[in-house]
Structures are given as structure tokens and as C-alpha cells.
Amino acid sequence: MPEKQQAGDERPRRRQARGERRIAQLLEAAAAVFCTTGYTAASTNAIAREAGVSPGTLYQFFPNKEAIAIELGDRLMHEMRETYGEALAPVDPATPLEQAVGAAVDRFIAFNCEHPVFFALMHGPDVPGRITEEHDALHQTLVTRIEGLIRSFLPDAPDADVTRTAQMCLGMYKAGLELVLAHEEAERGAYVQELKNALFRYLEPLTRDGAAPTPDPAAPPLP
């Protein structure tokens, strides 16, 4: 129950079943509008219209526009944790890296395909204040999880290297996700495979010689 009460001035209202239904309805409408226009360009009136209610009704349930996105993000995050929480759990080092990468990618791609608004909310540099914080929190959570996964294969690497590798993995995943979402059907599947390939090839050398993290290139940097 994601009921929030600010210190002091706003006490929690007792919602009726009708209210809960309206909230769900409004969040669904907001997801649709955010998907097509992005957060900043989405007007609260448009969200209310999409939900088939008046602007006043919307503000009966959300104190402001930001709260809509926050609540939507919270529910999305909760569902992600519930459904795919173990996707990045550390695995037995005996597990082939290829399988671990493939499974993790498949799960996350599936989630993002089912909830396109997640990508819209998490990818916009236009989102203000608190949403950015949530974004950063999620990012950090994912990086930590990936670090754990990498540690399964590289128990003795320096922390800084593992963090960098995890950040790079997450960045590659985001880039791949964008490509996957931009294509359909067979081509989409091909991009999923391409993303797996990229991640696998990036990580595979690390599993072979745990002591030599970054093979320094012979050539000095060009001017």
C-alpha cells in the first residue's frame, strides 16, 4: 500500500473502491500519454481526458503532475522486482556465461516490451526532480546487481574495475534495448541476439584470465 503522508499538513484520505479504480485508470492513461509524448510534454488535462475524467478529478488523487509519474514509477519498479527480481542474482560460476547473459537479457527485454512506459520514464532527460532521483536509485541498484553477477565469475578483481564493467554492461543493455524497441518481429529478435553477443563477447575474456583485467593496447594513444 503506497500511501504517503507528508509531515504535518496532509492526512491520508480513506479511499473508496471507486477511488482505487480511478487511480488505476488514471495511471493507465498517464502511461499511455507519457509513452507517446514524454513526461514534460504530457499535460495533466490530456491525461484526464485520456482517462475520461475531468482535470479536477485527477487532482483529487494526485497532488501534482510529478506525483503521477512517481506513483507510476513506484508501481513499475515494484512489479519489476517481483517478477524479475532474481534475474541478476549471482549465479554458480559453473554456469556458462552465455546462458547467464542470455537469460538476464531475455527477462529484461520482456519486461520492457510489456511496459513501454518504463523506458519512456527512465530515458528522458526532461524528467524533473524526484523522478531523476528514482532513476538514479534504480540505476545504482542494477549496477550493484550486475557487479554481483560479475563477481561470480571474477572473484578477485578490484572493485573499481568491476564497477566500470557493470556500468558498461548496463549502458550496452540500454543501447541495445533502444534498438530492440525500434524494430519489429524478426529484426527485433536479431537485435536481441546481437545485444547478447555484444555483452557476451565483452565479458567473456574476463572469465578466462581473472588477473589481467584490461589488456593494454600496444599502440600509445593518438594525438
Judged by the rule CB under 7 A, the positions of this chain that interact with DNA are 13-20, 22, 42-46, 52-57, 59-61, 63-66
The answer to whether the beta carbons of residues 123 and 73 sit under 8 Å apart is no
Q: Whole-angstrom Cα distance, residue 180 to residue 195?
A: 9
Q: Contact between 207 and a second copy (CB under 8 A)?
A: no
Phi first, then psi, for residue 41 (nearest 5°) are -75, -15
Question: In this chain, which of 88, 102, 115, 122 binds a second copy, going by CB under 8 A?
Answer: 102
Question: In this chain, which of 85, 205, 210, 212 binds a second copy, going by CB under 8 A?
Answer: 205
Q: Segment contacting a second copy (CB under 8 A): 33-41, 59-67, 71-79, 145-153?
A: 33-41
What type of residue is 167? Q
What does 60 bind: a second copy, DNA, none (CB cut-off 5 to 8 Å by kind)? DNA
What's the burial of 203, exposed, middle or buried (CB within 10 Å: 0-12/13-18/19+)? buried
Q: Contact between 95 and a second copy (CB under 8 A)?
A: no
Q: Contact between 211 and a second copy (CB under 8 A)?
A: no
Q: Contact between 158 and a second copy (CB under 8 A)?
A: no
Q: Whole-angstrom Cα distance, residue 31 to residue 73?
A: 10
**Nearest of 35, 32, 30 to residue 45 by alpha carbon:** 30
What does 214 bind: a second copy, DNA, none (CB cut-off 5 to 8 Å by kind)? a second copy
Q: Segment contacting a second copy (CB under 8 A): 66-74, 78-86, 143-151, 191-199?
A: 191-199
The answer to whether the beta carbons of residues 173 and 108 sit under 8 Å apart is yes
